Amino acid sequence: MTTQGSKRRACARRGCQRQDTGTAGKITNCQIGVCLDYATSRGRTLIDRDLCLPKDSWIADGERCAAAKIPSGVEFRTKPQLLQAMIERAIAAGVPFARVTADEAYGGNGPLRRFLEDKQLGYVMAVSRDHQIITAAGKVRADVMAARVPRSGWQRLSCGAGSKGKRWYDWALVATTGPSHRLLVRRSIGNPAELAFFLAYSPNPAPLRDLVRVAGIRRTVEESSQAAKNEAALDHYQVRLYRAWYRYSTLTMLVLAFLAVTRAAQFPSQAPTPCPRIQRRDTHRGLARDGHTTGNAR
């Protein structure tokens, strides 16, 4: 799952206002769209999207909504609520996927996590360092739990390929009071003080390498978004009306999906290549290979 921002000079377009977007890296006139990405071992593409309409400047302004042809029944929904709606549509359409992954804005949302758990959908979602983890001793911050991991509790694993080869990190898995919930911690090899935290839920037992792989696949969200812009002109639209935005984004996703399927057809399906073991000077060896599942929605 990704949040896609598109900069705009004027605010007459539906959903546009001055707001923070990671695309621009600042507060500017833009529209925010929430996109659902589908990734497998053979490719990835965007499969759904929803427009995030601000509550005060748009939903509460009936005349403005009418001018942009926004249906009267459209209500304000937060980004996690938009993501939940898209996952519900994916389930209803019979899309096969193993786990869901998303960034902190979604991983820290309790209702979204409970929805996934009720559906028995595993997830590996980023959380902040001050996220409260429930342990036998009570609630403890994620960064405090990471500081308690012994040297032998870290394993060096690759979470997937990057622009310069495999991305290696040290990983630790911390148990909670629930057997299905665990805290996944990623530590930079070059800068051990640089940590990232993920809340992992698995209806069935899952090895560390599978959770690490899912956390690493989160990178494909940005790749799909960039590919949609470069190859399918996702951010080149000039539409102003609500339905026109959905029509344009749907066409963009169709083009991107066609390119993904065409590319996958050019290469035979292959089993994942085992990762080499790495000998560490100060700790034990890492696991030998990455995991593999059918697919992941994000």
Q: What is the pLDDT of residue 283?
A: 35
Contact 234, 249 (CB under 8 A): yes
Do both 195 and 128 map to the same domain?
yes
Q: What is the pLDDT of residue 145?
A: 94
Q: What is the pLDDT of residue 293?
A: 36
Do both 153 and 208 map to the same domain?
yes
Is 114 exposed, middle or buried (CB count within 10 Å of its CB: 0-12, 13-18, 19+)?
exposed
Is 239 contained in some domain? yes
Q: What is the pLDDT of residue 7?
A: 46
Is 289 contained in some domain? no
Is 69 contained in some domain? yes
Is 117 contained in some domain? yes
Side chain identity at 212, as an amino acid letter?
A: V
Do both 106 and 200 map to the same domain?
yes
Q: What is the pLDDT of residue 290?
A: 36
Is 4 contained in some domain? yes
Give me the torsion for CA of 200, 203, 45, 41, rounded to 10°: 90
For the chain, what is the domain count? 2
Do both 162 and 176 map to the same domain?
yes
Last residue of a domain, one of 149, 182, 217: 217
Is 28 contained in some domain? yes
Is 297 contained in some domain? no
Do both 155 and 248 map to the same domain?
no
Backbone angles phi, psi at 45, to 5 degrees: -160, 160
pLDDT less than 70: residues of the chain: 1-30, 268-298
Q: What is the pLDDT of residue 271?
A: 41
Range of the domain at 175: 102-217
Is 286 contained in some domain? no
Do both 120 and 206 map to the same domain?
yes
